[in-house]
Homo-oligomer: A and B are copies of this chain.
Amino acid sequence: MDELDVSLLRGTLDLLILKSLSWGPLHGYAVAEWIGQATGMLRVGEGTLYPALHRLERQGLVEAEWGLSENNRTAKFYRLSRTGRRRFSSASTSWHDFVEAASRALRAGPPVPV
């Protein structure tokens, strides 16, 4: 009823996309499906996904190629570039670091007086 809180997806989407491509090329639709099932709760709309993919492509992290899907449809397959792979691992650690830091603060006690 109330407005649900802000999209926490911010900054995490790219990482999830890179992860989904870490085993091999996927087309956009499959990426969205994977994220949905792997997280169990995060539904990525197409208006969110495709701009993100194009962004990653512009940054040289993924490369696209047209092909045929498992269902015999023309689909654009994305695959990690070498820099994409490097970026994936670095983004992964900084994501964990960030979560760790925030988590620590959320468990922390009151501010210590100087």
Chain A contact residues, CB within 8 Å of chain B = 5-12, 14-16, 19-20, 23-24, 26, 30, 33-35, 37-42, 70, 87, 90-92, 94-95, 97-99, 101-106, 108, 110-113
The residue in chain B whose Cβ has the minimal distance to the Cβ of A40 is: B101
Q: Please tell me if the beta carbons of A99 and B99 are within 8 angstroms of each other in the complex.
A: yes
Interface of A is mostly: helix
Query: In the assembly, how many copies of this chain are there?
Result: 2
Least CB distance from A54 to B in Å reads 15
Which residues of the partner chain B approach A94 to less than 8 Å between Cβ atoms? 5, 8
With A8-B94, A10-B10, A94-B5 known to touch, is A15 a contact of B99 (CB < 8 Å)? Answer: no
With a cutoff of 8 Å between Cβ atoms, the chain B residues found around residue A90 in the complex are: 5
Choose among A14, A33, A94, A111 the residue with the greatest number of B CB atoms under 10 Å from its CB.
A111
A87 to B3, CA, bound (A): 11
